[in-house]
Structure 1
Amino acid sequence: MSEHCYVYILTNKLNTVLYTGVTNDLVRRIFEHKEKMVEGFTKKYNVNKLVYYGVFSDIKSAIQREKQIKGITRQKKINLINIMNKDWKDLYRDICG
């Protein structure tokens, strides 16, 4: 998966907190969140369930999309997640192959 860049949204067990991030290695980055290797917001609020991701061919496009998502309302983020993942299941196993 490392030839692409990704924007992702994580949530917590109760789906009450949303976190948006960007990476060039989605499997590694989500693993780091799950293992609480990432200091800060996701570790503090136990945000480690992958509910959305988008694939981009370059980091510039991925960062641009990350900024767009961070700038929209919570409801629009929920709508975006629902389009890809209406049951809000953890997509981590799906991306691990």
Structure 2
Amino acid sequence: MANKAAVYILASRHNGSLYIGVTRNLMKRIWHHRNVAAEGFSTPCTRHRLVYFEFLPDMGEALRREARLKTWRRPWTERIIREQNPDWMDLWDQVIQ
């Protein structure tokens, strides 16, 4: 999973506040979020539950996908989360395997 472009969504809880991000190293980036190693939007609200991720062929495509997701209305974003993760489980264990 290292050096693979990915888009991910973090949630504070089931149907909670969301954070959409992009990275080249999903495991490292989620570790940073979970350990508050990186300051930013996700820090004050503890959006640490990884509820969605997808790998893309390259970083340019990942950035375009992130931008598209950020323009979506909340119900559309919730729909793609439910399609991959109906119970909004933390997918961290899938990332570290």
Q: TM-score, normalised by structure 2?
A: 0.95
Instruction: For 1:51 and 1:36, locate their aligned partners in 2 and report how far apart those are by CA, in whole Å.
Output: 18
Deviations 1:66-94 (A, max 9, x none): 00000000110000100000010000111
Which structure dedicates a bigger proportion of its chain to helix? 1
Match of 2:44 in 1: 44
Higher alpha-carbon deviation: 12-21 or 23-32: 12-21
Match of 1:67 in 2: 67
* Offset, 1:3: 3.5
Secondary structure of 1:21's counterpart equals: strand
- CA RMSD between the two structures: 1.0
Match of 2:29 in 1: 29
Runs of 5+ consecutive residues of structure 2 not aligned to the other structure = none
Instruction: For 2:12 and 2:83, locate their aligned partners in 1 and report how far apart those are by CA, in whole Å.
Output: 19
Secondary structure of 1:47's counterpart equals: coil
Instruction: For 1:70 and 1:10, locate their aligned partners in 2 and report how far apart those are by CA, in whole Å.
Output: 13
* Offset, 1:14: 4.7
CA 14–93 in structure 1, closer or farther in 2 if over 3 Å, else same: same
Match of 2:55 in 1: 55
Instruction: For 1:89 and 1:48, locate their aligned partners in 2 and report how far apart those are by CA, in whole Å.
Output: 11
Letter paired with 1:57: P
Please say if residues 49 and 91 of structure 2, whose CA atoms lie closer than 8 Å, have aligned partners that are also in contact. yes
Runs of 5+ consecutive residues of structure 1 not aligned to the other structure = none
* Number of matched pairs: 97
Q: Percent identity?
A: 34
Match of 2:90 in 1: 90
